[in-house]
Structure 1
Amino acid sequence: MYALVAAAFASISLAAQAFNPITVQDIRVEGLQRTDPGTVFNYLTVKVGDKFDEAQASEAIRALFATGFFDDVRIEVDKNVIVITVEERPTVAQINVNGAKLLEKDQVKAAFKGQNLAEGRIFQQEVLDAAVNELKQQYYARGRYSVDVKATVTKLDRNRVGVQVDISEGDVAKIKSINFVGNKVYSQDDLISQMSLTTPTWMTWYTKTDQYSKPKFGADLEAIKSLYLDNGYLNFAIESTQVALSEDKADVFLTINLREGDLYHTGDISFAGNFDLPEAELKALVAAEPGEVFSRDTINKTTAAISDRLGKEGHAFPNVNAVPTIDEAKKTVAFTFFVDPGKKTSVRRINIYGNNLTKDEVLRREVRQMESAEYNLADIKRTKERLQQLDFFSEVNIDTPVVPESSDLVDMNINVVEKKTGNLNFGVGYGQGEGALFQASVSQANFLGTGKRFSAEVNTSQASKVLAFGMNNPYATPDGVSFGWTAYLRDTDPGVMDLGQYQTQSKGIGFNFGMPTTEYNSIGLGINAEIMDFKVSELSPDYVLDYIKEYGESAAIYSLNANWATDSRDSAVFPTKGFLFKTSAELGVPPSDINYYKLNLQSQYFYSLPTKKPFTFMWNMEIGYGGSYGGSNEYPFYKNFYAGGVNSVRGYKSGSLGPIDNTDNSMGGSTRFVNNFEVFAPVPGMKDDKSMRLSAFYDAGNVWGYDQDINFGSIQHSVGVGFTWISPIGPLKLIYAHPINPSATAKTESIQFQIGQLF
């Protein structure tokens, strides 16, 4: 375009003043306001003393127009002097954006800057048009097809312009229908279930999955492709897609044309290449079996497993390729895995970047790959896991670039992005049995960048009020022995929960030590001292009054604690697989008023059921047992176990199972058993939302007193359904339960809930 305009101007100028070739004595530039004269001279091929003719003049005009700096360029000759007259294009003085809500104003300006439109730059109308179009594309990608963008240019003084961008974002286009053409193997519902996008449902006001998004649609197409390729349809293809809009651009109609192809089975599997591992060991890593339905996923898993295994042997860059051989007559596909392990590699140096606050040693003590040691992929992956578990960083990335001129050496670069680790939280909640509560807490998980954790908490409810402080150092010694302390004040009123009309006030301090025994197991030891005062009345139960009569209105409690745990769950919030086992012991020691012991065991198992929907089975079992020793003839009532409520046996009032006192209130006991079977499922219409889920459960459990025999025939049972939601105001549980065999003294509740920090 510039060349054509330049040529036009050149022909006009030269026609108006034709000249014979001259020897240039001087070059003069007129009309410049901002542009440096040197910029003009840089684009000229002629210098003082050179010959200059009409062809060179035309070329010079073209070159100056091509810079984009000028609206007009004229070249004239005055004797032997070249006179270049230019008219500069205006600069953008300001860009104002109005009406942007979905995108921040800075995002809009950044999009314009990417198209070379920004304050201080040369204004060009074609650049503005391209920037407006790019902005529309960003809205289209978010489903805003009715967006209207108007750009107004206003001339200002000193050859400047202002750009006013007015945006009417419009409404998000909703998906009216999703149609598949060519599908026979899977139904419409089967295919739609693979997609994150949906037509409007009763929950799409929250999930927004009925709002069309081009990136999400692309991901859904890949999910459908995976469904076919993972179930034998090797030649499956999505031949075309249509995204149609209604006239008002408010509704979207999706049509997906498929070619399913034939069903293929897996043929023979062989290996080729030069590898150190026995072929039998490689075969053990193969996820596919000859004769089974072909699955791309199992082939990819096999390739990854072989690469990982070679990585454990020091091969940083193995090359594993699965080459198919298709037999169209038998409809089978055989695979040959070509394995090239590459050279064995060592790690020269470990470099850490991005830890501006966190001290270097805090990261290095989590690193499992050693410098100057053989490359080990398992150690590198575990390093990343441990760094992520610190919860100090929003991102942890590890790469292993080759050391220049050393093909058998790599560096291990750890790049982290720190996040804020200090929290100041305020919360309110409500729990049946606990009543209303207010909570405030301040914590710093990475105190002064040392990896130590400090916390202070205020928690109040009708049943319990707590003020607590604590500090924990996970690496009190270089070997990973942790040390921590807690100090607290606690007031409780069991009467609020129908657990006896009395109150306690306690203050205590505790110290704990911990040590990992393996990557997933740990043990801990602790010592605690607590002074507890009792407030009673004539309505207090006999067992409390009898205790006070014998031991007084104050109890001194000194205890030793030990625990061991192993945890392989894939998530601490909503696990789908893995195992958790915890056991702990508490021992009251002299000079405590009563020598007692208290044992706890918890086992949880999670398993993802092999169903189309992501169902998870959970089995939870808890056992608690307490007693006395050293001549003591009773177990202290303030160490009793309780059962019943949202977090144990649902359908029964919190803490209500087991023996009752002379005032018909629950009193807990020294032995506790709880067993839960539960199946979790996503909420219909919520697709892949991770914040909420439904469940169906069967619970069983009871509590027995210190002087009672354990009778499993007295176990209370219940069944029901539950809803869990990590809501913006805190975690929420809603339960509907049916007690199966409530005892005569049991207190039942069909509907139970908790919201807030009680979860």
Structure 2
Amino acid sequence: MPVCVTRAFAVLLCLFAASAWAQAQSPDSGYDFRVDDVRVVGVQRLEPGTVLTYLPLSVGDRLSEARAQQSIRALYDTGLFENVALQREGNTLIVDVTERPEIASFSIEGNKNIGGDELKDALAQQGLAQGELYKRSLVDQLEQELRRQYYANGYYSVDIDTQVKELDNNRVAIDIDVTEGEVASIKDINIIGNEHFSDDELRDVFELEASSPAYTRPLTFWRSRDRYSREKLLGDLESLNSFYQNRGYIRFNVSSIQVSLSPDNRNIFLTINVDEGDQYTISDYEFAGDMIVPQTSLQRLVTVEPGEIFSRGDVDASANSISSGLADFGYAFADVDPLTRINDEDKTVDLTFFIDPGKRAYVRQITFNGNEKTNDETLRREMRQFEGAPFSRRGVERSRTRLARLPYMQDVQVNTEKVAGSEDLVDVDYDLTERAAGTLQFGVGFSDAQGFLINGSVSHSNFRGTGNRLSLRAETNDYAKSVGASWTDPYFTDEGVSRTISAFYRNTDQLIRIGSGFDLNSVGGAVTFGLPITEYSQLRAGLGVERNEINSAVNRDGEEQLSDELADFIDENGKEATTYELQTGWSRDTRNRTFFATRGSNTQFEFNIKGPGSDLEYYDTSFEHERYFRVGAWVPGLSDKMVLSMDGRVAQTDVWGEGEDVPPYDNFFAGGARSVRGYSNGGLGPRDSLDNPFGGQFLTTLQSELVIPTFLESDNKSTRLTAFYDIGNVYEDASDFEASELRKSAGVAFYWFTPFFGLLRVSYAAYVDDPDNDDVDRFQFSFGVGL
């Protein structure tokens, strides 16, 4: 090494050593010293003692470089300070801090479509609220997140103006003003690469759609399907993938997506590039894993067949069916994974349903939530899943259905959860929404059948939470006055035998609203028992007694009105009759709800006979079948809320013993809301010599309704909109039946289960088949009366 370089290096080394020695001796520099005192400067709202509590050192400790960095980091971590510095005066440590400003006020305005009160609550949890400390980074993050959410929902013209105003006492006011602008609409959706399906077929899968022509927008403005949303686009791409996967294109892929924006930020152009691939068929399927049930039983649950086109939806449905089947045997959390082995050479797919049943589960406890008015015991007697028993999916679901069918329940949901720390125990929770079960009312109502009503009643379908039904009623309407009482105990015995005791008195000026030509006084009572046969069906048996007295009607001039038919009946049978009735019947009810059902059926068969000892001996029998179908299960793409219901009834009455004819007050009448809408109640069928409806001994009707989904939140639970088609008539005798005499009508109907007036029913028959000038009543409504 040259001598000059050596000397220079030596000089530098000496200078460095001298500098270090001088710094160590200086009382105002360096961190390596013993702290004799600590002083805090810069605080405004905080007390110096508060700051000292965050320091990881105290008087007497030795301060090193590492200890100083640790102290600074600890103060920053509190979030209370914008700046922290440590200084030294002799052996006194100076802690110089700058406090963060306090938020005196925080407001965000103009964000109508993003956030709202939920956003404000979330911001408050993050520290953006009055009284919190101001952090500029949080405000910046908020502005970026708001902009991202607006862009994702198509608001590309959004303007976000953030103002942070400094106030006295180290405070700030934060005001965020959002100008949302108009949401960008989709101008065009272009699909590239599709060969097997047309653009229109694929666009039908999407929820998003291009803007409609200007002249059609007044008819479609409420749909808003042309408003871009990233979430909706991702959902549509998933629907597109399902569309292809369910048609055998298992290699389908969306290769790219382009979202283009017009210069004015108002129009969006979507371009979706797809690779369809080839169509594949199922070569065969097999089972693997732990098959705890015979393979033949599993095969009955599989809906796909070798040789058919592969469908991801059908394969997943088969896996879910197997899982549900295992759940009926107690394996509540069975996992069935449909594995696919793709053969690209012959375009086939081999399926393997891999079964992992897990451990058999048992129900630890069943709980009910929301039953504020119903006793726990009343609910538990509806259970078909029991505590301590093996879990059964079918039993849990059947229990839910039985609860939902109770007239005082509006909605029932069920959740099954594993017990923490256990592999074979589950809890079953039922979340209940109760209806108003009891009413004490004096009010008015109207029905097309009875006219204006004035009534007073005490009724309760869940008396004192027991499920017993009590009804005391007094009523007067346009042509009748009546009082009645009934008491029903649905669990008269522990085995589920029900008992109903009823009594009534009724005085009528006419049988139906549009007239019948005579008055009637009736008094009677009955005791009826319901005997369960199976889970869904029961027998009905009871005894009743009734006394009826016919009086001739009088017109406005005080003249007696007596039709030829009524005069003949009185001559042959007299005006008064006491009858003893044997009531029998059979019913099967699989509906998911009593009110506004969406699936299942209800079948009723009745045979009532006026027995020996009666002044008149005759019988009446009827058969009624009501069924609900989910239209979405037939036509893919339609809403699950779209339901088709059909309700058909056939009834017959005739003399079997004493008496010459069935009394006119026990004839059948047709027309009105419960048979053929569009016709006056009771206005169809035979008439007497005074042109009053006289009824007949044979009735047949069919009501068909298509439930139309609406925007109402309570859709299909307390409201229902339907399109209906009714057909039917009543005949003097079954031998008089002629199909050409059936009356038909079509229209729309709306139902609302109101909280105060009971069921509101409104219908309008746009089409009425009226060849013989029957009593037509296109618009019909009623409230304050039941189903």
Matched, 1:399 2:399: no
Matched residue type, 1:235: R
Q: Note closer, same or farther for the CA distance 1:153–1:261 as it changes in structure 2 (3 Å cut).
A: same
CA distance in 1, matches of 2:460, 2:391: 35
In 1, are the aligned partners of 2:186 and 2:267 still within 8 Å (CA)? yes
The answer to whether the Cα contact below 8 Å between 1:596 and 1:626 also exists between their aligned partners in 2 is yes
Given the alignment, which residue of 577, 589, 603 partners 1:581?
A: 603
C-alpha change, 1:20 and 1:273, in structure 2 (3 Å) is closer
Determine if the alignment matches structure 1 residue 656 to structure 2 residue 667: no
Pairs within 5 Å for 1:290-309: 290-309=306-325
1:125 aligns with 2:151: no
Report the counterpart of residue 6 of structure 1 in structure 2: none
Matched, 1:739 2:769: yes
Partner of 1:7: none
What does residue 369 of structure 2 align with? 354
Contact 1:739/1:748 (CA < 8 Å) preserved in 2? no
Does the CA-based 8 Å contact 1:650-1:737 persist in structure 2? Answer: no
Q: Which residue of 262, 279, 294 corresponds with 2:278?
A: 262
Please tell me whether the aligned partners of residues 141 and 213 of structure 1 are also in contact (alpha carbons under 8 angstroms).
yes
How far does residue 181 in structure 1 lie from its aligned partner after superposition?
3.2
What's the counterpart of residue 287 of structure 1?
303
Cα distance in 2, alignment partners of residues 156 and 553 from structure 1: 96
Deviation at 1:368, TM superposition (A): 2.2
Shift of 1:434: 5.9
Alpha-carbon contact 1:731-1:757 (below 8 Å) kept: no
Amino acid of the structure 2 residue aligned with 1:711: D
Change in 2 beyond 3 A, CA 1:683/1:415: closer
- Whether the aligned pair in 2 keeps the contact of 1:718 and 1:737 (CA below 8 Å) is no
* Cα contact 1:111–1:135 (8 A) shared by 2: no
Q: Would the aligned equivalents of 1:500 and 1:541 in 2 still touch at CA under 8 Å?
A: no
Corresponding residue of 2:8? none
Q: 1:188 to 1:436 in 2, by over 3 A?
A: farther
Corresponding position of 1:713: 738
User: Are the counterparts in 2 of residues 393 and 416 from structure 1 also a CA contact under 8 Å?
Assistant: no
Q: Alpha carbons of 1:259 and 1:45: their partners in 2 closer, same or farther (altered >3 Å)?
A: same
Matched, 1:328 2:344: yes
Letter in 2 for 1:597: Y
Residue 197 of structure 2 is matched in structure 1 by 186
Which residue of structure 1 lines up, in the alignment, with residue 120 of structure 2?
Answer: 109
Q: Cα–Cα, structure 1 residues 53 and 218, in superposed 2: closer, same or farther, change >3 Å?
A: same
Further displaced range: 663-672 or 93-102: 93-102
CA positional deviation for 1:601 = 1.0
* Residue matched to 1:18: 29
Distance change >3 Å, CA 97–CA 570, structure 1 → 2 = same
Task: Write the letter of the residue equivalent to 2:427.
Answer: M
Q: How far 1:469 sits from its partner (Å)?
A: 7.2
Q: Equivalent residues in 2 for 1:534-549 (5 A)?
A: 536-538=553-555, 540-542=561-563, 543=565
TM-score, scaled relative to structure 2: 0.77
Identity of aligned residues (%): 33
Amino acid at match of 1:627: D
Superposition deviation, residue 716 in structure 1: 1.7
CA–CA separation in structure 2 for the residues paired with 1:174 and 1:753 = 43
Larger Rg: 2
Amino acid at match of 1:130: Q
Does the aligned pair in 1 maintain the 2:108–2:177 contact within 8 Å?
Answer: yes
Q: Distance in 2 between matches of 1:241 and 1:269?
A: 35
CA, structure 1 residues 619+253, in 2 after alignment: closer, same or farther (shift >3 Å)?
A: same
Structure 1 partner of 2:649: 622
Q: How big is each residue's C-alpha offset from its partner over 1:431-471, in whole Å with a ceiling of 9 and x where there is no partner?
A: 76666779999976655544455678898876778887766
Q: Which moved more, 1:619-628 or 1:142-151?
A: 142-151
Instruction: Report SS of the residue matched to 2:675.
Output: coil
Instruction: Give the Å deviation of 1:283.
Output: 1.9
Distance change in 2, residues 1:393/1:754 (3 Å): closer
1:368 and 1:753, CA in 2 relative to 1: closer, same or farther beyond 3 A? same
SS of equivalent residue, structure 1 residue 710: helix
Q: CA deviation at 1:158?
A: 5.4
Change (3 A) 1:417 1:346: closer
Cα offset, 1:393, TM superposition:
7.2
* CA-to-aligned-CA distance 1:500-538 (integer Å, 9 cap, x gap): 355668787766544433222234456667787868213
Q: Compared with structure 1, are the counterparts of its residues 564 and 147 closer, same or farther at alpha carbon in structure 2 (3 Å cutoff)?
A: farther
Structure 1 gaps, min length 5:
1-14
Residue 47 of structure 1 corresponds to which residue in structure 2?
Answer: 58
Give the total of aligned pairs.
Answer: 733
What is the CA distance between 1:293 and its match in structure 2?
0.7
Structure 2 CA distance, aligned partners of 1:152 and 1:485? Answer: 74
CA 1:592/1:44 → structure 2, altered by over 3 Å: closer, same or farther?
farther
Corresponding position: 1:223 with 2:239? yes
Distance 1:604 1:372, change over 3 A: closer
Contact (CA 8 Å) 2:587, 2:603: kept in 1 or not?
yes
How far, CA to CA, are the matches of 2:454 and 2:156 in structure 1?
46
Match for 1:599: what amino acid?
Answer: T
Q: Which residue of 2 aligns with 1:272?
A: 288
Distance across 2 between alignment mates of 1:21 and 1:112: 44
Aligned pair partner of 1:375 in 391, 394, 403: 391
Amino acid of the residue matched to residue 413 of structure 2?
V
Q: Please tell me whether residue 641 in structure 1 is matched to residue 659 in structure 2.
A: no
Structure 1 residues 37 and 312, CA gap change in structure 2 (3 angstroms): farther
Residue 722 of structure 1 corresponds to 747
Q: Alignment partner of 1:601: what SS?
A: strand
Matched, 1:78 2:89: yes
Query: Distance in 2 between the 1:251 and 1:460 partners?
Result: 64
Structure 2 equivalent of residue 597 of structure 1: 619
Q: Report the secondary structure of 2:691's partner residue.
A: coil
Contact 2:764 2:778 in 1 (8 A): yes
Cα distance between partner residues in 2 of 1:466 and 1:229: 64
Distance 1:738 1:310, change over 3 A: same
Distance 1:721-1:552 versus aligned 2 partners, 3 A rule:
closer
1:413 aligns with 2:428: yes
Cα distance in structure 2, aligned partners of 1:342 and 1:645: 57
Matched, 1:702 2:717: no
- Partner AA of 2:309 in structure 1: V
Contact 1:651 1:749 in 2 (8 A): yes
Q: Rate the CA distance shift 1:121–1:342 in 2: closer, same or farther, 3 A.
A: same
Q: In structure 2, give the amino acid aligned to 1:416.
A: D
Deviation at 1:667, TM superposition (A): 1.4
Shift of 1:296: 1.0
Distance (whole Å) between structure 1 residues aligned to residue 459 and residue 149 of structure 2: 40
Larger mean CA deviation between 287-296 and 232-241 belongs to: 232-241
TM, length-normalised to structure 1: 0.80
Aligned partner of residue 84 in structure 2, secondary structure:
strand
Gaps in structure 2 of 5+ consecutive residues: 1-25, 755-759
3-state SS of paired residue (1:227):
helix
